[in-house]
Copies of this chain bind each other. A is one copy, B any other.
Amino acid sequence: MPRFHVEIKVMPRAALLDPQGKAVEHALTELEFAGISGMRVGRAIKFELDSADKSSAENKAKAMCDKLLANPVTEDYSIATEEV
């Protein structure tokens, strides 16, 4: 069965406050980094997945996000798959 490299980004939804992002942005500004705005901190998840084809790998990854990896109320996710 073909193997795919899957990369998922789970980010706080744009309309919601992101306290962790705000804290990191503030800390970087204190370190004299200027010109930063709109910082958001989320999760990056990478793994290998055996699947029949690219579209089935994407569908499985989407189901994983819906069932476990992302909070449907507060987070959005994006999925990228690539055959290894």
Task: Please report A residues at the B interface, Cβ cutoff 8 Å.
Answer: 1, 9-11, 21, 24-25, 27-28, 31, 33-51, 60, 63-64, 67-69
Contact = CB atoms under 8 A, between A and B. Distances in A.
Number of copies of this protein chain within its complex: 2
Contacts of A21: 45, 47
B43 A39 contact: no
A35 B11 contact: no
Contacts of A31: 64, 67-68
Contacts of A40: 45-47
A42 B44 CA distance: 5
A31 B34 CA distance: 45
A42 to B, nearest CB: 5
